[in-house]
Structure 1
């Protein structure tokens, strides 16, 4: 066991992170409401958007085809689900701060970043479970995978990578506010414009001209389009916008996610260390 103040290596830091992740997963299992309510919202979005908006939104290459819209929609719902896990990360860390759990971790001879890394790993695991359930619901309303299992797994991998990146934004928010309630609000207020000013629910072609570049350079949009391509959910006549992220969505998705992780992980760990000092 390393002593306080001793430099901790990668293996020990990984071990510490997994211990913290296990602690958070056990806590989630003991409070099943966390998982249940996390599933209810995306399921409601699937049903409402599929049957309320299906047939009323024009999809390039498919027109007002309700079935085409359901397939077009699902990648957006998946992406929204993984990014909304940010609010849970924010609230969880803020609650630990408020209850003094973080202070107890600080007193232990463990890697400083392990507390945050463990929390984000636990949130990623919960998000994976949510995605599996949501995919089953999507199958029930008519969504299908057309380009093979490997491509579908790659699509889910991009979605989870984006979700993991966004949990680091949530971690920083959770460390920056004074209560779980404020963390929940702070974790959601910026997500709504991010997800809706994107190609998640409507094509960018349907937006005002000045808003289209904003939607197309949105990291959320790159992941959504990449997932649609990998799932085979784009209509045969669909043509992607000319902007670079829309022409190379998978690469853009990976780059956006890595940049977000690098920026917000370093800021969150610095915030944690500053508070510890």
Structure 2
């Protein structure tokens, strides 16, 4: 309970800073909104989705789960940069000298990032509705889809925490947090159907934890476009995307929480 209390104090500190510097949230919204508009109107009329027809409306329903997932995972770079900035300024050393839980600083930071990610998703969902995205399931199912997206974002924030503790500058944390995310998000089912990829990439894409959450969200949103075949390679995560999404996210949290806390205990500014 003491550790949770310490974590909430740190989370409140980071949320307060976010409120006082609103441009961080505003600029964080620009990129995903641009992706929604550009992919919907530029590529939507040229990409044929199996079972979804050929045209912008079918592609938008296919696309949005991928954009949502990309948005929550790209928050990794911000989490890493924030922690690296605290390290650079010596704030982490001051926290480490206090009688508080060792993991509270990192847990509080990731919880604050989760709040920011949730706000971003709300705004992005409104924009998606405005460009023509619709869900076809009940409210509980749709909320469950967003919950899985937030769980994935929280899991990836722990990867960002480890990166932020490992590098020396916020700039390096931003680069280190993004460079591996591009292949992870694009070698997936987020933007195009896996069926059109080379065989070896199909296997990678369908075992990608990012793909599992995208597929689970589409299923819970009712945006599957009537696709009869969930997996082209028979991959278990694509056949059971909701369960796979939860398992992947929990595994990432357990592994990177452990590594980040261990790194925090030995980190120096």
Q: Which residue of 2 aligns with 1:28?
A: 18
Q: Which residue of 1 aligns with 2:167?
A: 177
Q: Which residue of 2 aligns with 1:5?
A: none
Tell me which of 247, 250, 253 is aligned to 2:239: 247
- 2:226 matched to 1:236? yes
Gaps of 5+ in 1: 1-10
CA drift at 1:62: 2.3
Moved over 3 A (4+): none
CA RMSD of aligned residues (A): 1.1
Q: Which residue of 2 aligns with 1:273?
A: 265
- 2:217 matched to 1:217? no
Structure 2: how far apart are the matches of 1:124 and 1:232? 25
The within-5 A match list for 1:1-277 is: 11-241=1-231, 242-275=234-267
Question: Contact 1:57–1:64 (CA<8 Å) still a contact in 2?
Answer: yes
Residues 237 and 274 (structure 1 numbering): CA distance in 2 closer, same or farther, change over 3 Å?
Answer: closer
Q: Which residue of 2 aligns with 1:4?
A: none
Please give the TM-score of this superposition, normalised by the length of structure 2: 0.97
Structure 1: how far apart are the matches of 2:137 and 2:250? 26
Q: Secondary structure at the match of 1:90?
A: helix
Q: Secondary structure at the match of 2:48?
A: coil
CA drift at 1:237: 4.0
CA drift at 1:248: 0.2
Please give the TM-score of this superposition, normalised by the length of structure 1: 0.95
CA drift at 1:55: 2.0
Aligned residue pairs total 267
